[in-house]
Amino acid sequence: MAALDLINVEKSFGSNKILHDISVSLAHGEFLVLVGPSGCGKSTLMNIIAGLEEPSGGQLRLDGRDITPLAPADRNISMVFQSYALYPNMTVAKNIEFPLAMRKVEKSKRAERVKSVARLLQIEHLLDRKPRQLSGGQRQRVAIGRALAREPQLYLFDEPLSNLDAQLRLDMRTEIKKLHHRLGATIVYVTHDQIEAMTLATRIAVMKGGVLQQLGSPYEVYNQPANMFVAGFMGSPRMNLIKSRLAQANGSLALEINNADHPLVRIPLPAPSAALSAYAGRDVFAGIRAEAVRLARDGMAPTATECMFDARVEVIEPTGADTLVVLDLGGKEFTVRLEPDVQLKPGQDARFLVELSKLVCFDADTERRIA
């Protein structure tokens, strides 16, 4: 039995459809991240799970129990808000205790719970303070503590890190991941930050325009994006998406990148899938991650799954950990990720190796991945 089932959930305001037929099934202990650009419907979906908004259609089940008609308080769900939503008139202890007090839990049991949650999150010394006396990170901990206090069946996190500064955001991200491991809790987490999604999730739901684009593990979403939107949204730098012709010559297939006044670039495909072979002679979009390319040094020969190509270096962006190099490939920009100490200069021609097992192709019309 799954912990959370969203079955054909829909939401519309009048004729304006916000969510289209969303179905997700989540096992116990999973960490689902809803990610997408703003306005994609991820927050609406979370509010529907919380019970703060009603779906126009579909059903929600928590541990097999239909919670669609239930009020937020009766769903056994906790939520951590972007603004932390700590009650300003109550101390930290009272804040953590609040959901228990509302459920008429015994006083001694409440105190015990507050203590153990505070110990877990290392906020014991803050219990008597008011929220306004806390820093951003401390507020975040208290908000999480309040969610933990009543041990719900499901935790919701609504962009909990976006109000923190960069360094603290990384620390809290690790902290949340640790907490997930330790509690084995089922979590639904909303963010617009694809790196947060990749690092935290056991499964990612990429959304756009109220439509679920792809539901999969971080590995799947990153390496086998369902369509060009997911390919472009996940990962930084973005996946290189290059329009090319799948040409057939001498019984083998090759991608040809052809721009009017540039020399033709040809990438032979030694072992194309059956699905891809069916596209012979048509235009496709080739998707290549920046890290699937390496610099070919003198005397290096391509391995069985690699292909060599020449390109002109346009821009070099060292990030410290590695160097991003923008190439001119047949008139198109093409970003590759190279080692930090790479010796290249803008304007220089160089030879590169691309790992073809990492190559994905997309239908030029539907923008879907050709499996």
Partner 1 sequence: MRDHRASGIPLERILLYAVLFFLAVMFLLPVYVMVCNSLKPLDEIRSGNLMSLPVQWTVDPWFTAWSTAQIGVQPTGLRPYFYNSFLLVIPAVVISTLIGALNGYILTQFRFRGANALFAAMLFSVFIPFQIVLIPMAKTLGILGMAGTVKGLIFVNSVYGIGFTTLFFRNYYAAFPQELVRSARIDGADFFGVLFRILLPSSAPIIVVTVIWQFTNIWNEFLFGASFSDYSSFPITVALNNLVNSSTGVKEYNVHFAGAFIAAIPTLIVYLLSGKYFVRGLMAGSVKG
Q: Which helix (H) or strand (E) holds 190?
A: strand 187-191
Q: What is the nearest approach in angstroms of partner 1 to the Cβ of residue 75?
A: 8
Piece in contact with partner 1 (CB under 8 A), picked from 10-18, 79-87, 215-223, 343-351: 79-87
Question: 99 or 225, CB closer to partner 1?
Answer: 99
130, with CB counted inside 10 A (0-12, 13-18, 19+), is middle
Question: 73 or 271, CB closer to partner 1?
Answer: 73
How many angstroms separate the CA atoms of 72 and 315, rounded? 52
Residue 281, sorted as left (phi over 0), alpha (psi -120 to 50) or beta, turns out to be: left
Site for partner 1 in 127-186 (CB under 8 A): 146
Q: What is the nearest approach in angstroms of partner 1 to the Cβ of residue 141?
A: 16
Piece in contact with partner 1 (CB under 8 A), picked from 8-16, 69-77, 234-242, 350-358: 69-77
Question: 89 or 108, CB closer to partner 1?
Answer: 89
* Given 20, 37, 39, 50, the residue binding partner 1 (CB under 8 A): 50
Q: Is 109 in the site for partner 1 (CB under 8 A)?
A: no
Q: Is 52 in the site for partner 1 (CB under 8 A)?
A: yes
Q: Is 107 in the site for partner 1 (CB under 8 A)?
A: no
* Given 71, 274, 301, 321, the residue binding partner 1 (CB under 8 A): 71
Q: What is the nearest approach in angstroms of partner 1 to the Cβ of residue 163?
A: 11
How many angstroms separate the CA atoms of 225 and 221, rounded? 5
How many angstroms separate the CA atoms of 357 and 191, rounded? 30
Piece in contact with partner 1 (CB under 8 A), picked from 80-88, 208-216, 250-258, 322-330: 80-88
How many C-beta neighbours within 10 Å does residue 193 have?
17
* Given 58, 72, 136, 137, the residue binding partner 1 (CB under 8 A): 72
SS3 readout for 258-311: CCCCCCCEEEEECCCCHHHHCCCCCEEEEEECHHHEEECCCCCCCCCCEEEEEE
Length of the chain equals: 371
Question: 81 or 279, CB closer to partner 1?
Answer: 81
How many angstroms separate the CA atoms of 185 and 125, rounded? 26
Q: Look up residue 338 and give its two tokens.
A: 């190279």
Question: 86 or 234, CB closer to partner 1?
Answer: 86
Q: Is 219 in the site for partner 1 (CB under 8 A)?
A: no
How many angstroms separate the CA atoms of 337 and 242, rounded? 17
Question: 77 or 114, CB closer to partner 1?
Answer: 77
* Given 25, 83, 135, 236, the residue binding partner 1 (CB under 8 A): 83
Q: What is the nearest approach in angstroms of partner 1 to the Cβ of residue 224?
A: 36
What SS3 class is residue 45? helix
Q: What is the nearest approach in angstroms of partner 1 to the Cβ of residue 72?
A: 5
Residues 260-270 as b/e (b if ≥16 CB within 10 A, e otherwise) read eeeeebbbbbe
Q: Alpha helices, DSSP H only, in the chain?
A: 42-50, 92-102, 107-121, 136-149, 166-183, 194-200, 218-223, 228-233, 274-277
* Given 6, 22, 79, 356, the residue binding partner 1 (CB under 8 A): 79
* Given 36, 41, 55, 99, the residue binding partner 1 (CB under 8 A): 99
Q: What is the nearest approach in angstroms of partner 1 to the Cβ of residue 164?
A: 16
Residues 306-326 as b/e (b if ≥16 CB within 10 A, e otherwise) read bbebebebbeeeeeeebbbbb
Positions in the binding site for partner 1 (CB under 8 A): 50-52, 71-73, 77-79, 81-83, 85, 87-90, 98-99, 102-103, 146
